[in-house]
C-alpha cells in the first residue's frame, strides 16, 4: 500500500502522477520482456531448450496469467508479529 497526500490523488495533477507511474511500469515491463526473450533465444542457441519448449513455456504463462495477476494483491498477514 502506498499512502500519498490527498492533494496528489485528486485535483488537476492526479492524472499526471498516474501517467508517470504507468510510464515507469511500461518501461520496466519492456525491459524484462527483452531480457526474457534474450534468455529464451540463448537457451535455444545453446541447445538447452527447443523452440517447442519455449512455446510450451509461453502457453503455460498465458494460461496462468489471471492467477498470477492476483499475486500482485497478496500480502503477508499483518497480525503476525
What nine digits make up the cell of 43?
537457451
Instruction: Domain ranges for the chain, please list them.
Output: 16-72
Average pLDDT of the segment spanning 9-13: 62
The pTM (predicted TM-score) of the whole model is 0.61
d(CA 69, CA 64) in angstroms, rounded, equals 8
| Helix locations, 2-71, DSSP H | 6-9, 14-45, 51-63, 65-70
Q: State how far the Cα of 58 lies from the Cα of 43, in Å rounded to an integer.
A: 14
Q: What is the pLDDT of residue 23?
A: 85
Q: How far apart are the first and last CA of the chain?
A: 19
Amino acid at each position: 500500500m502506498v499512502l500519498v497526500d490527498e492533494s496528489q490523488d485528486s485535483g488537476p495533477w492526479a492524472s499526471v502522477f498516474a501517467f508517470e507511474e504507468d510510464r515507469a511500469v511500461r518501461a520496466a515491463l519492456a525491459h524484462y520482456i527483452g531480457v526474457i526473450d534474450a534468455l529464451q533465444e540463448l537457451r535455444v542457441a545453446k541447445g538447452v531448450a527447443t523452440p517447442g519448449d519455449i512455446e510450451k513455456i509461453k502457453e503455460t504463462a498465458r494460461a496462468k496469467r489471471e492467477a498470477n495477476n492476483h499475486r500482485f494483491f497478496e500480502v503477508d498477514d499483518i497480525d503476525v508479529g
